[in-house]
C-alpha cells in the first residue's frame, strides 16, 4: 500500500510535468534556428528603394528570436568583401540583450540609409557568395538571403563570376525586383533575368522565391 | 489459374462452362454434405466452447478483482476510520485536559462558595427575642392592688414606664438584627450567581464531551461495520471513494490551472537565465520552459513535505512516523525553502513585467508607432509580484486533493476494471453465441446451394418409402385374405 502510494505520487507528478512540458513546447517538430542575410543593391537604378529595405529589416527584427542571426550588406562594384557588410548580429540568448542588439542594428541600418553612395557596378554574385559564407558560419538550419535588387548584374572588367554556386539549402528570396526601362521595351529581358537567377539558385541546391508585394512580409520567412 | 480456365472449359460457351462447374460443385457438395455439416457444427461448437471458457476465465478474474477491491476498500476505510477515531479521542483528550483539569479547583471554589452561603444563611436565621426573666415578677407586682395608695401607684407607673422603655429597646434591637440579616442575605446573591455560573460552565463542558462521544459512537459503529466486512460498509466506502475521486480530481484540475498561471509568470524571465534559444538536446523543448516547470514542481514537492510534516497528509509514512521535534524541524526547513522560492518567484514576476515593457518598447520602435505610457503601470507589476509570492504557498495545498485522489484512484480504477471485465464477459459470450448461430446458418446455406440434389433425394426417398409401405401393406392384405379363407 505504501509502495503504491509513493508510486502514485511520482507517477502523478511525472505526468503533470510531462503534460506541462509537452503542451508548452510542442511534442514534435524540428527546432528552427534562422539566419537572414539581406543584400541591398545600391547601384544607381536601385538606390531609391531603401525605405522598403528598412521596412523589411524592421519586420525581421521583430520576428527573429534570441539566438538567431541577421546581417545587412550592400551590393556594389565588388561585393565579395567584408567591408560591404553594413551590420551583422547574432542575437544574444537573453531577450533583454537581444532587444538592445536589435535597437543597435536598426540604428546602424538607418545611419547607412542616410548616406548611400550609388555604386557604378552591381556585383550580385559576389554579395551572394559573401552571404553564403556568413550564413554557413551561423550554423542555422534555416538560412535566407533576401535580395533587394533589379537582378541585373554588371561587373567590372576582369571579375569572374560566371561559375556555379553551392547554396546548400539556402532560401533565396528576391524582393521588390524592379523593372528597368529596357524591360518596358522588351519584357522578356526581365523574365530572362529572373529565370536565370532561379535556375542558378536551384542548380546550386537552393530554393528561389520572388516576392514583390511587401504587404505579405510573413511569406518571406516561414 | 485465371478466370479464363473456368469460363473456357468448352470453347466459346462460357455460360455452359460455368454451369458445368457449378453442377460439379453442387454434386461434390452434395456428396460431402454430412462430413461438411459435421465439420461446420464441430467448429462452431469448439469456438463457442472456447469462448465460454474464456468468458469463465474473465469472470473468475473479475471475481478475484472484486474481492481484491473489497479488501483494499475495507482496509482503506478501516485506516481512515482509525485515523478519525484517533483524532476524535485526541480532541476529547484536549477537552478533558483543558476543561476538566480545572475541575478540582472548580470543586474547591464551589465548596467555598457553598460554605460561605451556608454560613451566611446560618447568620441570617431569625432568632425570636426571649421575653425578659423579670417580666413575670413585674406582672406579679403589677397585679398588686394599689388600694388608692399614691406610693403604690407611683411604683406601678415607674414599673410601667421602665417596662415600656425596655420593650422599645428590644424592638430596636430586633429591627437592627433584621436589618443585619437582610444585609447578609443580600451579600449571598453574588455567591449564588457565581455558583450558578460555575455550574453552567460545567454543564457546557459536559455537553461538549457528550457531543464528541456521540460522534465517536457513530464512527465506532462504522468501524465495526468495516471490521465485520458488511456489504453496507463496502457500499458506503465505495460511494465515498467515488465522491472523493471526483472532488479531488476537480481540485487537482484547478491546481493545474494555478500551476499554469504560475508557469506563465516564471517562463519568460527564465529565458533571461537559461537563454531563450536553449533547448533540451536536439528536441524542440525549450530549456527555459523546463526550468520554469522544474521550479513549480519543486514548490509542489516542498508543499507536499510541508503538509506531511504538519500531519495534514500521510503520503510519506516515514515522515509521519518521525518524532515530533524532527517533524517540526522538517516543517521549518520546508517553510523557509518555500519563502525563498516565493521570493524568487516574486522577483521573476517583476522581471517578467520589465521584459514585457522592453519588448513592447522595441516593437513600438520597429513599427514606428509611439504609444504613450499607460497610467498606473505599477499596479499590474505589483499584482504580478504578489501573485508570484502567494502562488507557491497556495500550491502547497495541492497535497490534500492529491492524497485523496491517489487513495480514491485505486478504488475507482478497480471498479472501472471490474466493469470492463464484465462487459468483456458479455461480449465474449455474445460472440460465442453469434459464432454458433453462424455455424448453423452456414449449414443451412450449404443445403441451400445443394437444394436440387436434396429435393431429388427427398422425392426418391418418399417414393421408395411409399413403395415399401405398399409392399408391406400388400403382403399384410394377402396374409389377411389367406387367413380369412382358411
pLDDT band at A201, cuts 50/70/90?
very high
> For position B446, what pLDDT does the model report?
92
> How many of the other CB atoms lie within 10 Å of CB of A49?
17
pTM, to two decimals = 0.62
CB pair distance less than 8 Å for A94 and B276? yes
Q: What is the pLDDT of residue A26?
A: 47
pLDDT band at A29 (very low <50, low <70, confident <90, very high): low
Mutate to test the interface with A, among B320, B362, B400 (most CBs of A within 10 A): B362
What is residue B314's predicted lDDT score, i.e. its pLDDT?
A: 82
The ipTM of this complex is: 0.73
For the record, the C-alpha cell of B282 comes out as 536536439
Can you tell me the distance from the alpha carbon of B423 to that of B421, in angstroms, rounded to the nearest whole number? 5
Do the chains contact at B402 and A12, CB–CB below 8 Å?
Answer: yes
Comparing A58 with A214, the larger pLDDT belongs to A58
All residues of chain B having their beta carbon less than 8 Å from the beta carbon of residue A30 are: 284
Predicted local distance difference test score (pLDDT) of residue A171: 92
Phi-psi region of A160 (alpha: psi -120 to 50; beta: other; left: phi over 0): beta
| Closest CB from B279, B304, B406 relative to A8 | B406
Distance from CA of B298 to the nearest CA of A (A): 10
Q: Is B272 on the interface with A (CB under 8 A)?
A: yes
Length of chain A: 222
Which one of B356, B365, B412 would you mutate to disrupt binding with A, by most A Cβ within 10 Å of its Cβ?
B365
Whether residue A9 has pLDDT greater than 70 = no
Is B276–A24 a contact, with Cβ atoms under 8 angstroms apart?
no
Tell me the pairing of strands A142-148 and A171-175. parallel
Q: Are A72 and A88 in contact (CB under 8 A)?
A: yes
Partner residue opposite A8 with nearest CB, options B301, B304, B409: B409
Neighbours of A24 (CB within 10 A): 18
What pLDDT is recorded for position B283?
A: 78
CB A171 within 8 A of CB A207: yes
Are A194 and A177 in contact by the 8 Å Cβ rule? The answer is yes
For chain B, the straight-line distance linking the first and the last C-alpha, in angstroms and rounded, comes to: 76
Q: Do A16 and B285 touch (CB under 8 A)?
A: no
Whether residues A25 and B289 touch (CB distance < 8 A) is answered with yes
pLDDT digit string (tens) for A162-181?
888 888 889 999 988 887 77
pLDDT at A28 (0 to 100): 46
**pLDDT score, position B57:** 94
Q: Please state which CATH class domain A34-219 belongs to.
A: alpha beta
Could you tell me which chain B residue has the CA closest to the CA of A63? Answer: B363
DSSP string, B204-271: HHHHHHHHHHHHHHHHHHHHHHHHTT-HHHHHHHHHHHHHHHHHHHHHHHHHHHHHHHHHHHHHHHHH
Q: Which residues of B touch A103 (CB under 8 A)?
A: 362, 365
Query: What is the Cα B156 distance to its own chain's centre?
Result: 103
Among residues 275-294 of chain B, which lie with CB inside 8 Å of chain A?
A: 275-279, 282-286, 289-290, 293
Work out the minimum CA distance from A122 to partner chain B, whole angstroms: 29
Q: Does A61 touch chain B (CB under 8 A)?
A: yes
Task: Using the predicted structure, report yes or no on whether residue A213 has a pLDDT greater than 70.
Answer: yes
The C-alpha of B99 sits at a distance from chain A's nearest C-alpha, in angstroms, of 39
Alpha helices in B368-398 (DSSP H): 378-396
Mind listing the pLDDT tens digit of every residue in chain B (486 residues)? 567 777 777 777 888 888 888 889 999 999 999 999 999 999 999 999 999 999 999 999 999 998 888 888 888 888 888 888 888 888 888 877 777 677 777 778 778 878 877 777 777 766 666 666 666 777 777 677 667 777 777 877 887 788 788 788 888 888 888 888 788 778 777 878 888 887 887 777 777 778 888 888 888 888 888 888 888 888 888 888 888 899 999 999 999 998 998 898 888 888 888 888 778 877 778 888 899 999 999 999 999 999 999 888 888 888 888 888 899 999 999 999 999 999 999 999 998 888 888 888 888 888 777 766 677 778 888 988 999 999 999 999 999 999 889 888 888 888 899 999 999 999 999 999 999 999 999 999 999 998 888 888 888 888 877 787 777 777 766 776 666 665
- CB-CB neighbors (< 8 A) of A142 in chain B: none
* Contact between chains at B282 and A9 (C-beta distance less than 8 A): no
Which one has a higher pLDDT value, A79 or B397?
B397
Strand-pairing partners, residue A208, are A172
pLDDT in tens, A85-132: 889 999 998 888 999 999 999 999 988 888 878 788 888 899 999 999
| B478/A contact by beta carbon, under 8 A | no
CB contact (8 A) between residue A66 and residue B259: no
Contact A94 B272 (CB under 8 A): yes
Q: Residue A155 CA to chain centroid, in angstroms?
A: 23
The pLDDT value given to residue A18: 60
- Decide if A13 and B285 are in contact by the 8 Å CB cutoff: no
Cβ-proximal residues to B125 (8 Å cutoff; 6+ apart), any chain: B181
As a whole number of angstroms, the distance between CA A162 and CA B76 comes to: 84
Which chain A residue's Cα is nearest to B272?
A: A94
pLDDT of residue A27: 46
Number of inter-chain CB pairs under 8 A, A vs B: 105
Give domain limits for chain A: 1-30, 34-219
Q: How far apart are the first and last CA of chain A?
A: 53
CA-to-CA separations, B367 to A60, A63, A166, B224, B358, in angstroms, rounded: 11, 12, 36, 76, 14
Closest alpha carbon to A12 in B255, B133, B446, B86: B255
CA gap B335, B332 in Å, rounded? 5
Residue A198 has pLDDT above 50, yes or no: yes
Q: Domain extents for chain B?
A: 244-276+284-370+377-397
Amino acid at each position: 500500500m505504501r509502495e503504491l502510494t509513493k508510486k502514485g505520487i511520482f507517477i502523478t507528478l511525472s505526468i503533470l510535468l510531462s503534460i506541462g512540458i509537452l503542451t508548452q513546447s510542442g511534442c514534435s517538430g524540428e527546432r528552427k534556428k534562422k539566419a537572414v542575410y539581406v543584400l541591398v543593391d545600391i547601384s544607381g537604378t536601385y538606390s531609391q528603394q531603401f525605405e522598403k529595405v528598412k521596412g523589411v529589416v524592421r519586420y525581421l527584427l521583430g520576428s527573429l528570436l534570441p539566438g538567431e542571426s541577421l546581417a545587412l550588406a550592400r551590393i556594389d562594384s565588388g561585393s565579395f568583401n567584408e567591408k560591404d557588410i553594413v551590420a551583422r548580429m547574432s542575437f544574444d540568448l537573453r531577450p533583454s540583450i537581444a532587444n538592445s542588439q536589435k535597437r543597435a542594428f536598426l540604428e546602424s541600418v538607418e545611419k547607412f540609409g542616410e548616406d548611400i553612395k550609388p555604386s557604378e557596378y552591381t556585383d550580385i554574385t559576389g554579395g551572394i557568395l559573401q552571404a553564403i559564407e556568413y550564413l554557413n558560419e551561423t550554423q542555422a538550419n534555416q538560412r535566407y538571403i533576401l535580395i533587394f535588387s533589379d537582378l541585373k548584374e554588371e561587373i567590372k572588367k576582369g571579375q569572374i563570376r560566371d561559375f556555379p554556386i553551392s547554396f546548400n539549402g539556402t532560401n533565396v528570396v528576391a524582393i521588390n525586383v524592379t523593372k528597368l526601362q529596357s524591360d518596358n521595351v522588351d519584357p522578356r529581358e526581365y523574365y530572362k533575368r529572373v529565370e536565370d537567377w532561379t535556375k542558378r539558385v536551384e542548380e546550386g541546391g537552393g530554393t528561389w522565391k520572388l516576392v514583390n508585394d511587401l504587404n505579405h512580409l510573413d511569406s518571406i520567412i516561414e | 489459374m485465371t478466370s479464363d480456365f473456368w469460363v473456357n472449359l468448352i470453347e466459346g460457351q462460357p455460360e455452359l462452362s460455368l454451369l458445368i462447374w457449378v453442377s460439379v460443385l453442387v454434386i461434390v457438395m452434395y456428396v460431402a454434405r454430412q462430413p461438411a455439416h459435421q465439420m461446420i457444427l464441430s467448429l462452431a461448437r469448439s469456438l463457442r466452447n472456447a469462448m465460454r471458457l474464456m468468458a469463465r476465465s474473465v469472470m473468475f478474474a473479475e471475481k478475484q478483482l472484486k474481492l481484491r477491491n473489497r479488501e483494499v476498500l475495507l482496509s482503506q476505510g478501516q485506516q481512515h476510520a482509525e485515523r478519525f477515531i484517533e483524532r476524535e479521542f485526541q480532541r476529547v483528550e484536549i477537552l478533558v485536559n483543558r476543561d476538566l483539569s480545572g475541575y478540582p479547583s472548580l470543586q474547591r471554589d464551589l465548596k467555598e462558595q457553598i460554605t460561605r452561603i451556608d454560613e451566611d444563611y446560618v447568620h441570617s436565621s431569625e432568632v425570636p427575642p426571649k421575653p425578659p426573666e423579670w417580666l413575670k415578677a413585674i406582672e406579679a407586682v403589677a397585679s398588686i392592688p394599689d388600694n388608692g395608695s399614691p406610693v403604690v401607684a407611683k411604683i406601678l407607673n415607674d414599673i410601667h414606664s421602665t417596662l415600656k422603655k425596655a420593650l422599645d429597646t428590644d424592638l430596636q434591637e430586633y429591627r437592627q438584627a433584621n436589618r443585619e440579616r437582610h444585609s447578609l442575605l443580600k451579600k449571598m446573591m453574588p455567591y449564588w450567581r457565581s455558583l450558578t455560573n460555575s455550574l453552567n460552565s460545567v454543564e457546557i463542558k459536559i455537553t461538549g464531551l457528550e457531543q464528541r462521544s456521540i460522534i465517536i459512537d457513530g464512527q465506532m459503529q462504522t468501524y465495526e461495520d468495516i471490521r465485520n466486512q458488511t456489504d453496507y460498509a463496502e457500499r458506503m466506502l465505495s460511494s465515498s471513494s467515488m465522491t472523493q475521486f471526483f472532488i479531488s480530481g476537480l481540485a487537482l484540475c484547478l491546481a493545474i490551472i494555478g500551476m499554469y498561471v504560475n508557469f506563465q509568470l516564471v517562463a519568460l524571465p527564465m529565458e533571461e537565465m537559461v537563454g531563450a534559444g536553449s533547448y533540451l538536446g536536439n528536441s524542440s523543448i525549450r530549456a527555459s520552459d523546463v526550468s520554469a516547470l522544474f521550479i513549480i514542481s519543486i514548490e509542489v514537492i516542498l508543499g507536499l513535505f510541508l503538509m506531511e510534516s504538519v500531519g495534514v497528509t500521510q503520503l510519506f509514512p516515514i515522515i509521519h512516523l518521525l518524532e515530533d521535534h524532527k517533524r517540526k524541524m522538517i516543517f521549518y526547513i520546508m517553510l523557509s525553502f518555500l519563502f525563498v522560492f516565493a521570493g524568487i518567484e516574486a522577483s521573476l514576476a517583476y522581471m517578467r513585467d520589465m521584459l514585457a515593457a522592453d519588448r513592447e518598447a522595441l516593437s513600438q520602435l520597429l513599427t514606428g508607432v509611439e504609444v504613450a505610457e499607460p497610467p498606473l503601470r505599477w499596479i499590474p507589476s505589483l499584482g504580478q509580484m504578489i501573485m508570484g509570492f502567494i502562488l507557491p504557498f497556495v500550491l502547497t495545498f495541492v497535497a490534500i486533493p492529491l492524497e485523496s485522489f491517489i487513495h480514491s484512484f485505486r478504488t475507482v480504477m478497480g471498479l472501472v476494471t471490474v466493469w470492463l471485465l464484465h462487459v468483456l464477459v458479455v461480449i465474449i459470450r455474445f460472440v460465442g453465441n453469434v459464432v454458433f448461430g453462424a455455424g448453423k446458418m452456414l449449414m443451412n446455406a450449404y443445403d441451400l446451394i445443394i437444394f436440387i440434389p436434396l429435393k431429388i433425394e427427398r422425392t426418391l426417398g418418399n417414393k421408395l418409402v411409399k413403395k415399401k409401405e405398399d409392399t408391406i401393406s400388400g403382403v399384410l392384405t394377402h396374409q389377411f385374405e389367406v387367413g380369412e379363407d382358411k
